[in-house]
Amino acid sequence: MRQIMKATWSVFSMVREPVHILGRFVEHNLSAGASYVHLFFDDPDDPAYDTFANQPGVIAQRCDSAYWRGLNRRRPPYVERRQLVNGRVAYERCLTDWQAHFDADELVVTRDSALGSQLATVPDSHQTAHLGTLEPMVPPEDHDGPVPFRRSVRHLKFRARLHVYGDDLQVFRNGLFGHYQGKSILRAGLQGWGHGIHFPRPASAEIENAIHEMDNAWIAHMHCENRDLWVNRTLNKMRDGSYNLRTGNYDILPYVAPEAAALDNPTEEDLLQLLTGFYDRVSVLSEDLRQRMEDLDLLQYHEVRLLD
């Protein structure tokens, strides 16, 4: 009988999340076959640290002043920079064949075989295994089964994208609320390499990062798994002017709700109603939307535990 090989893998994540979200993240990865999850608590006083400090399968690092002194450096002022530094630390201490960089609201899902088995088939010439992005959708009330997920529409021609999402395509260009770039898993033992945000960072600009696209593994971005979660996060971004610098203009109301143009000063209730309508149009899996998506192979179903 032919022996099926498996590669070992672990997960790095810098976190600032409630215990219930971190708990699902850790449980999901360990159940999926991760050898361990390396959590870096960005807030040195995060009370969640105590919950995971002694949990089997978790390496918990409190990013306090002693931690930064131990690295012989000051705490970087920007979140992204702290992620890169912590990612390099996690990678240098990696104990597995591969290591992933996932956020706490990103859950790996697979088809046909476990992630470890799939990683074992990545050619030796490739340093990176790349996972495309999926996002959860809201199934009909009578749905009993795995969670429906949507793929990005970036690979489709404009007419096909318009067929799926209609006028909402103006703001829903990629067919996803969040990032379309996906996430990566880096082969261990590469001198000078480290984790990036979406793709690893080679030791120098002269080194090519050979990327293997995973056909049967994805990252499920759970940031929009229910209406209230997405609407509240979007409202916070609309209030925070810094998001204009990081993610582009967040004045999305004229696109998701043309009727908002008549509102000189929309109230909180107006905003809730307009954003809820947009969310429902693109995320509630009506029979009509399901058919349009299935025609273009944009739907998948995976077993994932949803938040209460």
Q: What is the pLDDT along the chain (308 residues), one digit of tens a residue?
A: 445 589 999 999 999 999 999 999 999 999 999 999 999 999 999 999 999 999 999 999 999 999 999 999 999 999 999 999 999 999 999 999 999 999 999 999 999 999 999 999 999 999 999 999 999 999 988 888 999 999 999 999 999 999 999 988 888 889 999 999 999 999 999 999 999 999 999 989 999 999 999 999 999 999 999 999 999 888 877 766 544 433 334 455 555 555 555 556 667 787 888 889 999 999 999 999 999 999 999 999 999 999 98
Assess if residue 266 is contained within a domain.
no
Residue 269 lies in a domain: no
| Residue 65 within any structural domain of the chain | yes
Is residue 187 in a domain? yes
CB-neighbour burial class of residue 20 (10 A; exposed 0-12, middle 13-18, buried 19+): exposed
Number of domains in the chain: 1
What is the span of the domain harbouring residue 76? 9-154+175-224
**Residue 135 phi, psi dihedral angles, 5° rounding:** -130, 140
- Looking only at the bridges linking them, the beta strands covering 128-136 and 211-221 are parallel
CB within 8 Å of 153: residues ≥ 6 apart: 160, 161, 164, 165, 174, 175, 296, 298
| In-domain check, residue 299 | no
How much is the pTM? Answer: 0.90
In a domain? residue 16? yes
Q: What is the CATH number of the domain that holds 215?
A: 3.90.550
Distance CA 308, CA 255 (A): 31
- Cα separation, 53 vs 43, in Å, equals 14
Domain-located, residue 300: no
In a domain, residue 291? The reply is no
